[in-house]
Amino acid sequence: MKILEFKLFDGILESSKAKIKKLDVIEKVFNAGEKVLEKDSDLKYALFIEKGCLKACEYMINGKEIVSSYYFAGDAFPFYLYFGNTSKFPYDVYATKKTNVYFLPLKEFEKIMDEDIVLTKNILKFIAEYTCFNKLVIRATQYSKVSQRLAYWILHLDEVDYLKLPTSQAMLADILRVNRSSLNQELKKLSDEKIIQVKGKDIIVQNREFLHDIIG
């Protein structure tokens, strides 16, 4: 059962694995742009992403779409909502590209957690990482300038779990709530001035002091 290959199930009891295999896990494939979940739908399942990417979309009063979160292959959500006693999804969820998703029934899964301390710890660690990531984003977006938001993000990259790292500049722009072309210009400027080095999806810091000065 492929869902047991997810990081969240590392080190759990064999009896827990056997119980998870018996759960009514639903596997679905969504195409790019397809709606996966609708706002205010019942929160009954945890979503495990085997391949692809999902985005959670919220809307401002003027109707403008805000991407509040991205979820990548190997990721799972929304445990933070379920254990926070939220009964409805507070956002719409869409696939950004062809995505394979497992829907795991939460009530039955919670019973398995109650009997497996390792599984419980894994979930707690996952929720903590998600919370820290959101706080990082909130702190970054408190700055008014694109350069400041980007500098703050880069300086704290080591705090971000690899599963939550944006895989494109467009996604990073959404996360930092900035214009994509402006973000591209700032990245190029920092790269040209040898402040950072961009290698594919990775950003290597070459001058941390300069980035601190941008924020300060």
Model pLDDT for residues 183-210, shown as the tens digit of each residue: 999 999 999 999 998 877 778 899 999 9
Fold of 143-215: Arc Repressor Mutant, subunit A (1.10.10)
Rounded to 10 degrees, the C-alpha dihedral 140/145/151/152 comes to: -20
β-strand pairing of 45-51 with 35-37? unpaired
Query: Does domain 2-133 correspond to CATH entry 3.30.465.10?
Result: no
Model pLDDT for residues 98-117, shown as the tens digit of each residue: 999 999 999 999 999 999 99
Model pLDDT for residues 22-76, shown as the tens digit of each residue: 999 999 999 999 999 999 999 999 999 999 999 998 876 676 778 888 899 999 9
Q: Which residue has the tokens 């109707």?
A: 63
Report the distance separating Cα 121 and Cα 118, nearest Å: 5
Asked if 135 and 164 count as a contact pair (C-beta separation under 8 A), the reply is: no
Give 131's pLDDT tier (boundaries 50, 70, 90).
confident
pLDDT value of position 12: 97
> Residue ranges of the domains in the chain?
2-133, 143-215
Please give the model's pTM, rounded to 2 decimal places.
0.84
